[in-house]
Amino acid sequence: MESPEQLRKKFPDASISFKTGAGNFTYIEIENDFASAEISLHGAHLTHFAPRDRRPVIWMSGKSWFEAGKPIRGGVPICWPWFGPADNPELPAHGFARISDWNVVSAENLTDGTTLVALELHPTDVDPRFAPFPFALKMEFIIGAALEMKLTMTNLSNRNQTISDALHSYFAVADSTKIRLRGLDKVEYSDRVVGAPQVDGLVQSGDIVIDREVDRVYLDTVAAVEIVDPGYRRTIRIEKCGSRTTVVWNPWIAKSQRMPDFGDEEYKTMVCVEATNNLRDTLNLPPGKTHSIAQKISVIEDK
């Protein structure tokens, strides 16, 4: 992987910088007229986004590990080519994309003043124990007043491949117990709280509130979700494409205390809304074919 010095020479745009940071990982920092952002090459992991002169939209844990071979807690982890535990318990949960080091292929300002960053991952970049088939993977970020993210995958093998994935986005909120999530009313969901009986075939009624551990997979939905946050006086709008499944997650009290890379009280300041291909939306990608999953995140400030 290229050093920050090599990347600065290769991508000299004044609004983009490269540094070595936490975990000795290489980070891309973006500061343009619209927003600021930070992306770790470890996992192609967005760790910060904030519209100019506004508070951060993306949440990061103060307890996160920054270690090679381990995921970063918070931000936007990329889950690929499987979501959740693997069939083989020796393989990493949520796939290998979020624990691999990616390569920068583009970092530039666009004519409208936004900034494009594109990263790629290939089988030669991945622990050979983890990569189940030949593939090409590209992650693109457009940093502007809104944040756009797109993961594009290509099956380079000679057979169909079963793939589940997610843009596992963590959002910063003033108080998770006071927010409301709208956009999923009347959508069927599966309740996946670990340690409790799995319940399928439930139907959302009204807005989602966080008053307990929440781990729900909403099915057959392409709807935008809005996080209405009275404490921060804003609404975060999450639009998506290439996905018909949305996950909403908050670990609540007991699970927060069990996770070593998550603060005991941090559940109060975050909520996950994830664009996924999972369960009956799992992909069956033919040889040579490509699929993209994308999110657009924008902020509406209360007046």
Distance CA 267, CA 269 (A): 6
Single-letter amino acid, residue 165: D
DSSP H helices, the chain, are: 4-10, 252-258
The DSSP output letter for 96 is: S
Instruction: Show the tokens assigned to 115.
Output: 């900034």
Whether 168 is catalytic is yes
Q: Are 227 and 273 in contact (CB under 8 A)?
A: yes
Find the Cα–Cα–Cα–Cα dihedral 44, 46, 51, 52, rounded to 10°. Answer: -80
Q: Provide CB contacts within 8 A for 145, sequence distance 6+.
A: 34, 35, 51, 298
From the candidates 94, 140, 168, 266, which is the catalytic residue?
Answer: 168
3-state secondary structure 141-155: EEECCCEEEEEEEEE
The DSSP string of 10-47 is HS--TTEEEEE-GGG-EEEEEE-SSEEEEEETBTTEEE
Whether 265 is catalytic is no
Return the closest-CA partner of residue 80 out of 297, 274, 298.
274
Question: Known catalytic residues?
Answer: 168, 274
